[in-house]
């Protein structure tokens, strides 16, 4: 199967939302805690190993990073936005508060935002940030696709059980799937979900 996210390219890194590309076209934001595997997921989905920085030290993504995608079929400009990893203890409190404000502004004001891909480690229950993001998306009718990463670290029955438990907590317009960057689990499904979000009309 061809990869519709092939050709993603780094555009810029922004410290504030007014530094992002012009608010037009369609974009999907990737959000998640600092150690959930967000960078690895982005690299795998775009088939570009060096697109998003990966590190054994969580919390490396401390800016909003924009990646341009090939235009959609109708010529609409498309991009992915990698939001700063949230919740890493060694990030200074001042910076954590800055990103809390900026992410909130981004989610409320960004007109080109079509949906969120939320990254969470399947081995652990959803954290406060994950639930806050899901609640926000539900309240604002913003579609959200949850990638339960590192599924290869559990047995098949354990992963299925964790996935089923998460699905029960999701609201309308929210979906969850098992995913593993290293094993390739759920990659095609996740790519299709990202493309579906990019094609979702904005009705908020």
CATH of residue 130: 3.40.50.300
- What is the Cα–Cα distance from 170 to 67, expressed in whole angstroms? 28
CA 203 to chain centre: 20
**Domain range holding 21?**
9-198
Give pLDDT, residue 85: 81
> Structural domain tally of the chain?
1
100 in a structural domain: yes
- What is the Cα–Cα distance from 100 to 77, expressed in whole angstroms? 27
14 in a structural domain: yes
70 in a structural domain: yes
Does residue 93 contact residue 6 with C-beta atoms inside 8 Å?
no
Arithmetic mean of pLDDT, 27-52: 92
Which of 95, 105, 195 minimizes the C-alpha distance to 145?
Answer: 195
3 in a structural domain: no
Answer yes or no: is pLDDT of 58 > 50.
Answer: no
Does residue 11 contact residue 67 with C-beta atoms inside 8 Å?
yes
Answer yes or no: is pLDDT of 54 > 90.
Answer: no
Which of 113, 128, 138 minimizes the C-alpha distance to 197?
Answer: 113
Each residue's pLDDT tens digit, 68-111: 999 999 999 999 999 988 765 566 788 878 888 999 999 999 99
Predicted TM-score (pTM) of this structure: 0.93
**37: which 2 tokens?**
């595997």
Report the range of poorest mean pLDDT among 26-40, 92-106, 132-146, 168-182: 92-106
Report the range of poorest mean pLDDT among 100-104, 154-158, 194-198: 100-104
Which of 104, 77, 130 minimizes the C-alpha distance to 16?
Answer: 104
Give pLDDT, residue 57: 46
Report the range of poorest mean pLDDT among 46-50, 93-97, 141-145, 148-152: 93-97
């Amino acid at each position: 199967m061809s990869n519709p996210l092939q050709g993603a390219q780094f555009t810029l890194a922004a410290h504030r939302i007014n530094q992002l590309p012009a608010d037009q076209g369609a974009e999907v934001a990737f959000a998640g805690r600092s150690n959930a595997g967000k960078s690895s997921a982005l690299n795998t989905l775009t088939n570009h190993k060096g697109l998003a920085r990966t590190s054994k030290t969580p919390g490396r993504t401390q800016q909003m990073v924009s990646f341009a995608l090939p235009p959609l079929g109708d010529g609409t400009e498309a991009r992915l936005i990698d939001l700063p990893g949230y919740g890493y203890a060694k990030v200074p409190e001042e910076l954590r508060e800055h990103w809390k404000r900026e992410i909130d502004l981004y989610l409320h004001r960004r007109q080109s935002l079509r949906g969120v891909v939320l990254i969470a480690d399947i081995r652990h229950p959803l954290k406060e940030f994950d639930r806050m993001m899901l609640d926000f998306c539900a309240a604002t009718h913003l579609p959200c696709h949850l990638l339960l990463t590192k599924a290869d670290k559990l047995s098949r029955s354990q992963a299925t059980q964790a996935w089923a438990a998460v699905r029960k907590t999701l609201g309308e317009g929210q979906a969850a799937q098992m995913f593993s960057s290293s094993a390739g689990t759920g990659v095609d499904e996740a790519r299709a979900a990202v493309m579906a979000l990019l094609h979702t009309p904005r009705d908020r």
